[in-house]
Chain A
Protein backbone atom coordinates (compact mmCIF):
# COMPACT_ATOMS: atom_id res chain seq x y z
CA UNK A 1 0.00 0.00 0.00
CA UNK A 2 2.79 2.36 1.00
CA UNK A 3 4.69 1.58 -2.19
CA UNK A 4 1.65 2.27 -4.36
CA UNK A 5 0.94 5.51 -2.54
CA UNK A 6 4.60 6.50 -2.74
CA UNK A 7 4.71 5.84 -6.50
CA UNK A 8 1.49 7.79 -6.97
CA UNK A 9 2.87 10.75 -5.05
CA UNK A 10 6.08 10.66 -7.07
CA UNK A 11 4.10 10.78 -10.32
CA UNK A 12 1.97 13.63 -9.00
CA UNK A 13 5.09 15.52 -7.97
CA UNK A 14 6.57 15.08 -11.42
CA UNK A 15 3.32 16.28 -12.97
CA UNK A 16 3.17 19.30 -10.70
CA UNK A 17 6.73 20.26 -11.46
CA UNK A 18 6.30 19.61 -15.16
CA UNK A 19 3.17 21.70 -15.44
CA UNK A 20 4.32 24.54 -13.28
CA UNK A 21 8.03 24.86 -13.71
CA UNK A 22 8.92 23.37 -17.06
CA UNK A 23 8.75 26.61 -19.06
CA UNK A 24 11.05 26.76 -22.01
CA UNK A 25 10.47 30.48 -22.58
CA UNK A 26 12.19 33.15 -20.56
CA UNK A 27 10.20 33.60 -17.39
CA UNK A 28 7.81 36.51 -17.35
CA UNK A 29 8.39 39.46 -15.12
CA UNK A 30 12.08 38.73 -14.72
CA UNK A 31 15.27 40.28 -15.97
CA UNK A 32 16.15 39.79 -19.62
CA UNK A 33 19.29 41.04 -21.32
CA UNK A 34 18.29 44.65 -21.97
CA UNK A 35 18.30 45.90 -25.53
CA UNK A 36 21.25 48.19 -26.37
CA UNK A 37 20.69 51.92 -26.03
CA UNK A 38 21.73 52.37 -29.66
CA UNK A 39 18.56 50.59 -30.79
CA UNK A 40 16.38 52.93 -28.73
CA UNK A 41 18.27 55.92 -30.08
CA UNK A 42 17.16 55.08 -33.62
CA UNK A 43 13.44 55.03 -32.85
CA UNK A 44 11.32 57.91 -34.09
CA UNK A 45 7.59 58.09 -33.57
CA UNK A 46 5.00 60.35 -35.17
CA UNK A 47 4.32 63.58 -33.28
CA UNK A 48 1.53 63.01 -30.75
CA UNK A 49 -1.39 65.35 -30.02
CA UNK A 50 -0.62 68.55 -28.09
CA UNK A 51 -1.50 67.23 -24.65
CA UNK A 52 0.67 64.15 -25.06
CA UNK A 53 3.50 66.25 -26.49
CA UNK A 54 3.36 68.44 -23.42
CA UNK A 55 3.47 65.39 -21.11
CA UNK A 56 6.48 64.02 -23.00
CA UNK A 57 8.24 67.39 -23.05
CA UNK A 58 8.33 67.55 -26.83
CA UNK A 59 8.48 70.99 -28.48
CA UNK A 60 5.20 72.09 -30.04
CA UNK A 61 5.16 71.67 -33.80
CA UNK A 62 7.66 68.80 -33.89
CA UNK A 63 6.98 66.52 -36.85
CA UNK A 64 8.21 63.41 -35.12
CA UNK A 65 9.62 62.24 -31.81
CA UNK A 66 13.02 60.76 -31.19
CA UNK A 67 12.74 58.73 -28.00
CA UNK A 68 16.00 60.21 -26.77
CA UNK A 69 14.58 63.74 -27.03
CA UNK A 70 11.78 63.11 -24.58
CA UNK A 71 11.97 65.53 -21.70
CA UNK A 72 12.37 63.13 -18.80
CA UNK A 73 15.11 61.42 -16.83
CA UNK A 74 13.53 57.97 -16.99
CA UNK A 75 11.32 56.59 -19.73
CA UNK A 76 9.13 53.52 -19.38
CA UNK A 77 8.22 52.06 -22.76
CA UNK A 78 5.40 49.54 -22.96
CA UNK A 79 5.32 47.56 -26.20
CA UNK A 80 1.78 46.25 -26.51
CA UNK A 81 -0.61 44.86 -29.10
CA UNK A 82 -4.35 45.43 -29.13
CA UNK A 83 -4.83 41.76 -30.04
CA UNK A 84 -2.60 40.43 -27.26
CA UNK A 85 -4.54 38.84 -24.40
CA UNK A 86 -1.79 39.40 -21.87
CA UNK A 87 -1.67 43.08 -22.82
CA UNK A 88 -5.41 43.32 -22.28
CA UNK A 89 -5.22 41.50 -18.96
CA UNK A 90 -2.39 43.64 -17.66
CA UNK A 91 -3.73 47.01 -18.87
CA UNK A 92 -5.42 47.88 -15.55
CA UNK A 93 -2.19 47.09 -13.68
CA UNK A 94 -0.17 49.28 -16.05
CA UNK A 95 -2.63 52.11 -15.38
CA UNK A 96 -2.22 51.47 -11.65
CA UNK A 97 1.55 51.67 -12.05
CA UNK A 98 1.18 55.01 -13.83
CA UNK A 99 -1.00 56.35 -11.03
CA UNK A 100 1.46 55.04 -8.45
CA UNK A 101 4.26 56.97 -10.15
CA UNK A 102 2.11 60.09 -10.48
CA UNK A 103 1.46 60.01 -6.76
CA UNK A 104 5.13 59.69 -5.88
CA UNK A 105 8.27 61.77 -5.98
CA UNK A 106 9.04 60.17 -9.35
CA UNK A 107 6.16 61.95 -11.06
CA UNK A 108 8.26 64.69 -12.65
CA UNK A 109 11.16 62.43 -13.55
CA UNK A 110 9.46 59.47 -15.19
CA UNK A 111 7.44 59.41 -18.39
CA UNK A 112 5.43 56.54 -19.84
CA UNK A 113 4.66 55.77 -23.45
CA UNK A 114 3.21 52.80 -25.28
CA UNK A 115 4.02 51.49 -28.74
CA UNK A 116 1.37 49.38 -30.47
CA UNK A 117 3.29 46.63 -32.23
CA UNK A 118 1.78 46.14 -35.68
CA UNK A 119 -1.24 48.23 -34.67
CA UNK A 120 -2.81 50.96 -36.78
CA UNK A 121 -3.97 54.27 -35.34
CA UNK A 122 -7.51 52.88 -35.20
CA UNK A 123 -6.40 49.80 -33.28
CA UNK A 124 -4.37 51.89 -30.83
CA UNK A 125 -7.36 54.16 -30.31
CA UNK A 126 -9.60 51.16 -29.57
CA UNK A 127 -7.10 49.91 -26.95
CA UNK A 128 -6.64 53.41 -25.54
CA UNK A 129 -10.36 53.97 -25.11
CA UNK A 130 -11.15 50.48 -23.83
CA UNK A 131 -8.60 50.67 -21.03
CA UNK A 132 -8.60 54.45 -20.54
CA UNK A 133 -4.82 54.47 -20.79
CA UNK A 134 -3.59 57.67 -19.12
CA UNK A 135 -0.32 58.04 -21.07
CA UNK A 136 0.46 58.47 -24.79
CA UNK A 137 0.23 55.47 -27.10
CA UNK A 138 1.77 55.36 -30.55
CA UNK A 139 0.83 53.24 -33.54
CA UNK A 140 3.59 51.17 -35.15
CA UNK A 141 1.67 49.52 -38.01
CA UNK A 142 4.74 48.30 -39.89
CA UNK A 143 6.58 47.32 -36.70
CA UNK A 144 9.40 49.64 -37.63
CA UNK A 145 9.95 50.92 -34.10
CA UNK A 146 9.74 47.54 -32.39
CA UNK A 147 12.00 45.95 -34.98
CA UNK A 148 14.55 48.70 -34.42
CA UNK A 149 14.46 47.89 -30.74
CA UNK A 150 14.56 44.15 -31.42
CA UNK A 151 11.43 43.50 -29.40
CA UNK A 152 9.14 40.68 -30.52
CA UNK A 153 6.94 39.70 -27.58
CA UNK A 154 4.13 41.69 -26.03
CA UNK A 155 3.73 43.13 -23.53
CA UNK A 156 7.36 44.10 -23.09
CA UNK A 157 8.48 46.84 -20.71
CA UNK A 158 11.71 48.76 -21.14
CA UNK A 159 13.17 51.23 -18.66
CA UNK A 160 15.48 53.76 -20.28
CA UNK A 161 17.71 56.16 -18.38
CA UNK A 162 17.64 59.06 -20.82
CA UNK A 163 20.00 61.16 -18.73
CA UNK A 164 22.78 58.58 -18.71
CA UNK A 165 21.79 57.13 -22.09
CA UNK A 166 21.39 53.55 -20.92
CA UNK A 167 18.72 50.88 -21.09
CA UNK A 168 18.40 49.75 -17.51
CA UNK A 169 15.85 46.99 -17.70
CA UNK A 170 13.68 44.96 -20.05
CA UNK A 171 11.03 42.43 -19.12
CA UNK A 172 8.21 40.50 -20.74
CA UNK A 173 4.90 41.00 -18.92
CA UNK A 174 4.35 43.31 -16.00
CA UNK A 175 3.18 40.79 -13.41
CA UNK A 176 3.24 43.34 -10.60
CA UNK A 177 2.80 47.11 -10.65
CA UNK A 178 4.59 47.35 -7.33
CA UNK A 179 7.70 45.49 -8.46
CA UNK A 180 7.93 47.68 -11.58
CA UNK A 181 7.47 50.74 -9.41
CA UNK A 182 10.41 49.62 -7.31
CA UNK A 183 12.46 49.19 -10.48
CA UNK A 184 11.58 52.71 -11.54
CA UNK A 185 12.47 54.00 -8.10
CA UNK A 186 15.81 52.23 -8.33
CA UNK A 187 16.33 53.64 -11.84
CA UNK A 188 15.65 57.12 -10.50
CA UNK A 189 18.42 56.68 -7.93
Chain B
Protein backbone atom coordinates (compact mmCIF):
# COMPACT_ATOMS: atom_id res chain seq x y z
CA UNK B 1 0.00 0.00 0.00
CA UNK B 2 2.91 2.31 0.84
CA UNK B 3 4.40 1.65 -2.59
CA UNK B 4 1.09 2.55 -4.23
CA UNK B 5 0.88 5.78 -2.23
CA UNK B 6 4.44 6.68 -3.27
CA UNK B 7 3.64 5.91 -6.91
CA UNK B 8 0.52 8.11 -6.73
CA UNK B 9 2.61 10.95 -5.29
CA UNK B 10 5.15 10.67 -8.11
CA UNK B 11 2.44 10.64 -10.78
CA UNK B 12 0.60 13.62 -9.27
CA UNK B 13 3.96 15.43 -9.16
CA UNK B 14 4.55 14.60 -12.81
CA UNK B 15 1.11 15.89 -13.73
CA UNK B 16 1.71 19.10 -11.80
CA UNK B 17 5.03 19.66 -13.53
CA UNK B 18 3.51 19.00 -16.93
CA UNK B 19 0.63 21.41 -16.39
CA UNK B 20 2.93 24.09 -15.02
CA UNK B 21 5.25 23.75 -18.00
CA UNK B 22 2.32 23.69 -20.40
CA UNK B 23 1.16 27.04 -19.02
CA UNK B 24 3.94 28.81 -20.87
CA UNK B 25 3.73 26.81 -24.06
CA UNK B 26 2.10 28.08 -27.25
CA UNK B 27 -0.10 24.97 -27.35
CA UNK B 28 -2.51 26.74 -25.00
CA UNK B 29 -3.32 29.19 -27.77
CA UNK B 30 -6.26 28.29 -29.96
CA UNK B 31 -5.73 29.18 -33.59
CA UNK B 32 -9.06 29.98 -35.29
CA UNK B 33 -7.38 30.28 -38.70
CA UNK B 34 -7.88 33.25 -40.98
CA UNK B 35 -11.15 35.08 -40.30
CA UNK B 36 -13.16 37.64 -42.24
CA UNK B 37 -11.24 40.87 -41.79
CA UNK B 38 -14.33 42.71 -40.50
CA UNK B 39 -17.82 41.62 -39.53
CA UNK B 40 -19.66 44.60 -38.06
CA UNK B 41 -20.77 48.16 -38.76
CA UNK B 42 -19.09 50.98 -36.89
CA UNK B 43 -21.58 53.00 -34.82
CA UNK B 44 -19.33 55.96 -33.96
CA UNK B 45 -16.98 58.30 -35.79
CA UNK B 46 -14.08 60.57 -34.99
CA UNK B 47 -15.40 63.70 -33.27
CA UNK B 48 -18.25 61.88 -31.52
CA UNK B 49 -18.53 61.80 -27.77
CA UNK B 50 -17.38 58.29 -26.79
CA UNK B 51 -20.24 56.12 -25.49
CA UNK B 52 -19.79 55.46 -21.79
CA UNK B 53 -19.76 52.00 -20.27
CA UNK B 54 -19.18 50.35 -16.93
CA UNK B 55 -17.55 46.93 -17.01
CA UNK B 56 -16.10 44.52 -14.44
CA UNK B 57 -12.32 44.32 -14.37
CA UNK B 58 -10.21 41.31 -13.49
CA UNK B 59 -9.05 43.37 -10.52
CA UNK B 60 -12.52 43.02 -9.02
CA UNK B 61 -13.95 46.51 -9.52
CA UNK B 62 -16.18 48.09 -12.13
CA UNK B 63 -14.46 50.52 -14.45
CA UNK B 64 -16.30 53.22 -16.35
CA UNK B 65 -14.96 55.30 -19.18
CA UNK B 66 -16.32 58.44 -17.50
CA UNK B 67 -13.91 58.14 -14.58
CA UNK B 68 -11.00 59.14 -16.83
CA UNK B 69 -12.66 62.30 -18.14
CA UNK B 70 -10.55 65.35 -17.46
CA UNK B 71 -7.72 63.14 -16.20
CA UNK B 72 -6.29 60.85 -18.87
CA UNK B 73 -6.46 60.11 -22.56
CA UNK B 74 -7.89 56.63 -23.02
CA UNK B 75 -6.96 53.94 -25.51
CA UNK B 76 -9.73 51.36 -25.77
CA UNK B 77 -8.17 48.16 -27.05
CA UNK B 78 -10.87 45.71 -28.01
CA UNK B 79 -9.46 42.31 -28.95
CA UNK B 80 -11.51 39.38 -30.28
CA UNK B 81 -10.86 36.68 -27.71
CA UNK B 82 -8.60 35.37 -25.00
CA UNK B 83 -6.21 32.54 -25.82
CA UNK B 84 -5.98 33.39 -29.51
CA UNK B 85 -2.80 34.15 -31.46
CA UNK B 86 -2.71 37.85 -32.37
CA UNK B 87 -4.39 38.98 -29.14
CA UNK B 88 -1.83 37.02 -27.12
CA UNK B 89 0.91 39.19 -28.61
CA UNK B 90 -0.83 42.55 -28.84
CA UNK B 91 -1.44 43.05 -25.11
CA UNK B 92 1.98 41.78 -23.96
CA UNK B 93 3.40 44.36 -26.37
CA UNK B 94 1.28 47.11 -24.81
CA UNK B 95 2.32 45.75 -21.46
CA UNK B 96 5.99 46.60 -21.95
CA UNK B 97 5.05 49.87 -23.65
CA UNK B 98 3.64 51.30 -20.40
CA UNK B 99 6.13 54.21 -20.32
CA UNK B 100 5.25 55.38 -23.83
CA UNK B 101 1.54 55.49 -22.93
CA UNK B 102 2.22 57.23 -19.63
CA UNK B 103 4.45 59.81 -21.31
CA UNK B 104 1.39 60.68 -23.40
CA UNK B 105 -0.89 60.81 -20.35
CA UNK B 106 -2.81 57.83 -21.62
CA UNK B 107 -4.22 54.70 -20.10
CA UNK B 108 -5.13 51.54 -21.95
CA UNK B 109 -8.39 49.75 -21.25
CA UNK B 110 -8.24 46.22 -22.64
CA UNK B 111 -11.65 44.75 -23.42
CA UNK B 112 -12.93 41.43 -24.72
CA UNK B 113 -16.29 39.65 -24.54
CA UNK B 114 -14.76 36.83 -22.49
CA UNK B 115 -15.85 36.43 -18.90
CA UNK B 116 -13.75 37.58 -15.95
CA UNK B 117 -12.34 34.17 -14.92
CA UNK B 118 -11.15 33.51 -18.47
CA UNK B 119 -9.54 36.93 -18.73
CA UNK B 120 -7.93 36.42 -15.33
CA UNK B 121 -6.41 33.07 -16.40
CA UNK B 122 -5.25 34.38 -19.77
CA UNK B 123 -3.62 37.58 -18.56
CA UNK B 124 -2.06 35.82 -15.57
CA UNK B 125 -0.52 33.35 -18.00
CA UNK B 126 0.88 36.32 -19.91
CA UNK B 127 2.51 37.65 -16.75
CA UNK B 128 -0.18 40.19 -15.83
CA UNK B 129 -1.02 43.54 -17.40
CA UNK B 130 -0.38 47.02 -16.02
CA UNK B 131 -3.63 48.27 -17.55
CA UNK B 132 -7.24 47.50 -16.68
CA UNK B 133 -8.58 44.36 -18.36
CA UNK B 134 -12.36 44.51 -18.68
CA UNK B 135 -15.00 41.92 -19.43
CA UNK B 136 -17.82 42.80 -21.83
CA UNK B 137 -19.32 39.36 -21.31
CA UNK B 138 -22.72 40.25 -19.87
CA UNK B 139 -24.96 41.67 -21.19
CA UNK B 140 -22.95 40.09 -23.92
CA UNK B 141 -20.95 42.63 -25.93
CA UNK B 142 -23.02 45.59 -24.72
CA UNK B 143 -20.07 48.01 -24.80
CA UNK B 144 -18.85 46.65 -28.13
CA UNK B 145 -22.34 47.14 -29.58
CA UNK B 146 -22.32 50.82 -28.58
CA UNK B 147 -19.20 51.27 -30.69
CA UNK B 148 -20.47 49.02 -33.48
CA UNK B 149 -17.71 46.43 -33.31
CA UNK B 150 -19.52 43.30 -32.10
CA UNK B 151 -19.07 40.53 -34.64
CA UNK B 152 -21.79 38.07 -35.53
CA UNK B 153 -20.04 35.27 -33.60
CA UNK B 154 -20.11 37.23 -30.32
CA UNK B 155 -16.45 38.27 -30.40
CA UNK B 156 -15.35 41.83 -31.09
CA UNK B 157 -13.32 43.36 -33.84
CA UNK B 158 -9.67 44.06 -33.18
CA UNK B 159 -10.26 47.76 -32.65
CA UNK B 160 -8.57 50.78 -31.14
CA UNK B 161 -10.41 53.92 -30.07
CA UNK B 162 -8.43 56.88 -28.85
CA UNK B 163 -10.50 59.11 -26.59
CA UNK B 164 -9.19 62.44 -25.35
CA UNK B 165 -9.59 63.90 -21.87
CA UNK B 166 -12.82 65.59 -22.92
CA UNK B 167 -14.30 62.21 -23.82
CA UNK B 168 -14.20 62.80 -27.56
CA UNK B 169 -13.14 60.07 -30.00
CA UNK B 170 -10.01 61.28 -31.78
CA UNK B 171 -8.86 58.16 -33.64
CA UNK B 172 -10.42 54.86 -34.69
CA UNK B 173 -8.67 51.80 -36.08
CA UNK B 174 -10.98 48.87 -36.70
CA UNK B 175 -8.22 46.65 -37.89
CA UNK B 176 -8.14 43.47 -39.93
CA UNK B 177 -8.85 40.96 -37.16
CA UNK B 178 -6.02 38.74 -38.38
CA UNK B 179 -3.33 41.39 -37.95
CA UNK B 180 -1.85 43.49 -35.19
CA UNK B 181 -2.58 47.21 -35.45
CA UNK B 182 0.53 49.38 -35.91
CA UNK B 183 1.67 50.82 -32.61
CA UNK B 184 3.55 53.70 -34.28
CA UNK B 185 0.34 55.04 -35.79
CA UNK B 186 -1.44 54.94 -32.43
CA UNK B 187 1.43 56.75 -30.72
CA UNK B 188 1.49 59.36 -33.47
CA UNK B 189 -2.23 60.00 -32.89
CA UNK B 190 -1.60 60.26 -29.15
CA UNK B 191 1.14 62.80 -29.83
CA UNK B 192 -1.42 64.99 -31.58
CA UNK B 193 -3.30 65.32 -28.29
CA UNK B 194 -0.40 66.95 -26.48
Contact = CB atoms under 8 A, between A and B. Distances in A.
A20 B17 contact: yes
Given A83-B89, A88-B127, A89-B24, A12 B96 contact: no
Q: Decide if the interface of chain A is mainly helix, strand, loop or mixed.
A: helix
Interface stretch (B4-12, B38-46, B47-55, B67-75): B4-12
A20 B21 contact: yes
B122 to A, nearest CB: 11
A85 B180 contact: no
A81 B89 contact: yes
Range of interface residues on chain B? 20 to 34
Given A83-B180, A88-B127, A122-B183, A16 B11 contact: yes
A100 B90 CA distance: 32
A9 interface: yes
A19 B15 contact: yes
B37 interface: no
B94 to A, nearest CB: 9
B96 A122 contact: no
A88 B96 contact: yes
Contacts, number: 69
- Among B8, B11, B27, B88, chain A packs the most CB atoms within 10 A around the CB of B11
A127 B22 CA distance: 25
A83 B7 contact: no
B174 to A, nearest CB: 20
B121 interface: no
A85 B92 CA distance: 7
B193 interface: no
A13 interface: yes
Nearest to B183: A123
Interface in A123-168: 123, 126-127, 129-131
Interface of B: 4, 7-8, 11-12, 14-15, 17-19, 21-22, 24-27, 88-90, 92-93, 96-97, 99-100, 126-127, 180, 182-184, 187
15 contacts: A9-B7, A9-B11, A12-B8, A12-B15, A19-B22, A20-B17, A25-B26, A82-B96, A83-B180, A84-B92, A120-B184, A122-B184, A126-B100, A129-B99, A130-B96
Interface of A: 5, 9, 12-13, 15-16, 19-20, 23, 25, 81-86, 88-89, 120, 122-123, 126-127, 129-131
Given A12-B15, A85-B126, A129-B99, 11 more contacts: A9-B7, A9-B8, A16-B14, A20-B22, A25-B27, A85-B24, A85-B88, A123-B93, A126-B97, A130-B96, A130-B99
